[in-house]
Structure 1
């Protein structure tokens, strides 16, 4: 072997030995960025992507492929629409907004959603029931913001442009959404700065008739009456505010080892659609509509900085379903 080749041999061996280490160093400095998911969304099921081309209201969007998506777990102000108006879903003559008077701040709520998702690709995530009675997809939406995904429901609740509206098939991440709403309520942000959306007490619950409402108060009596359970918040059952739970919905309470009868003398917060039946009434279909504010079942501290409406608030336009 030539002398010059022998002289180069140690250098070649050293170069070969260093290559794997250099490659490892290169890979270490060029790791792909891991996408940061939104907190509280673990357990939601991915259901593909879509591009939002229209925002119908603060909780409903249309995708480029024609699908209509209703944001699960929240309720935004109703936009209002003429009777018989057609939805964006082909072939449907039913519209939850048909015949409604627009609710206060409905336009602002829709604009907030437009700012988040319009003309952008969103990721659909399912948390249980995947369609509503109008055939719309019930989904949680995620939109990219740099390296992280923003949970659209969480953002709207945190800004105060929607209310938490738990579905009977409780969505994953409900605790995170509740904290987001609490943030807006404490700061009187968005809807919570308007008396129309004020949290009611039992004496003023009637002012929210026909719309989704939040009521706080003490349960004076809890009664099991044949096929229903009633929670009464006043002395006169014919006129006071009442919560009604149908027997068929009690299974959801039993599954969590909860009994509405245990709520007697407890301070609670209840949310749902306000009806008129021997006084103002909310029909509760799942345990997540009721929160205790004085202890476990499950417990949540009262929201700071927000007083119940006692002597005011606008009458609510007629409403039906969320």
Structure 2
């Protein structure tokens, strides 16, 4: 774990030198934005307090390593800005947010590129999420950060009961695509009570098409799903966002 923390410190030293990218917020001014120590935000990415007294969480990212371990030994004292992505607090009184460096560049890319976080699609624009997923793929290829510590991608046949309710990445081949009036099903086995199913609500189909997914040609393709593994008579992942589905072939 110490090498991981040292690596994190190295990544954060570079804050402030990032170039503009598709995830940067246009025409953001630091005026009125609250601040937080980056150590504190990464120590508790699911709920941290900023200088305005409000609570935030890091949007569109998840941290497989224990959150407290990420920031437990950090002492850089680097301050960053906090920008809420929406004005409405969730049931736990939190606002989804991103961290901005002193040049107003989003730090999500640095965290993903350094293998410190996994993309968890939620609120970011399609082009931003595609960019982050590409950075994640590159970090995985280079075996940096969490991609060295453990393999966070599972073949669906290796999924255990202990993973129910957890967010994860699963790779599998689509054997068929089913359709009802309300849902589209990506089937990964013959028995839906035992084999994994990806579920897409009808109201989300336009988003998948806009993102570039043609579900009609998914049969026989190997894909990567990201989401919460649920058990509803059979194992399933509901794909609420098109960035939760990646075509690997």
Q: TM-score, normalised by structure 1?
A: 0.61
Structure 2 unmatched ranges of 5 or more? 1-16
Structure 1 unmatched ranges of 5 or more? 1-34, 78-103, 295-322
* CA 1:198–1:217: 2 relative to 1, 3 Å: same
* CA 1:36–1:182: 2 relative to 1, 3 Å: closer
Quote the offset at 1:154 in angstroms.
1.5
Q: Corresponding residue for 2:95?
A: 137
Report whether the alignment pairs 1:120 with 2:120.
Answer: no
SS at match of 2:121: coil
Q: Corresponding residue for 1:71?
A: 58
Report whether the alignment pairs 1:187 with 2:187.
Answer: no
Q: Corresponding residue for 2:153?
A: 199
CA distance in 2, matches of 1:164, 1:238: 28
Report whether the alignment pairs 1:41 with 2:23.
Answer: yes
Quote the offset at 1:36 in angstroms.
6.9
* CA 1:255–1:190: 2 relative to 1, 3 Å: closer
CA distance in 1, matches of 2:165, 2:71: 21
Which has more radius of gyration?
1
Q: Corresponding residue for 2:7?
A: none
CA distance in 2, matches of 1:180, 1:115: 27
Which shows bigger deviation, 235-244 or 37-46?
A: 37-46
Residue correspondence of structure 1 range 224-239 to structure 2 within 5 A: 224-239=179-194
* CA 1:158–1:257: 2 relative to 1, 3 Å: closer
List structure 1 segments (4+ residues) > 6 angstroms apart after TM superposition.
Answer: none
2:68 to 107, 111, 132: 107
SS at match of 1:185: helix
Quote the offset at 1:280 in angstroms.
2.1
CA distance in 1, matches of 2:220, 2:24: 36
Give a deviation string over 1:146-196, Cα, whole Å, max 9, x none: xx555321122122221100116646522321132223222333322333x
Give a deviation string over 1:115-162, Cα, whole Å, max 9, x none: 67x561415264x78654434222221113xxx555321122122221
SS at match of 1:137: strand
Quote the offset at 1:271 in angstroms.
0.5
CA distance in 2, matches of 1:253, 1:129: 26
Report whether the alignment pairs 1:159 with 2:114.
Answer: yes
Q: Corresponding residue for 1:270?
A: 225
Quote the offset at 1:221 in angstroms.
0.7
Give a deviation string over 1:173-227, Cα, whole Å, max 9, x none: 22321132223222333322333x5201121134632211111121001100232
Whether the 8 Å contact between 1:142 and 1:152 is mirrored in structure 2 is yes
Whether the 8 Å contact between 1:40 and 1:172 is mirrored in structure 2 is yes
For this pair of structures, how many residues does the alignment match?
227
CA distance in 1, matches of 2:229, 2:114: 24
* CA 1:154–1:269: 2 relative to 1, 3 Å: same
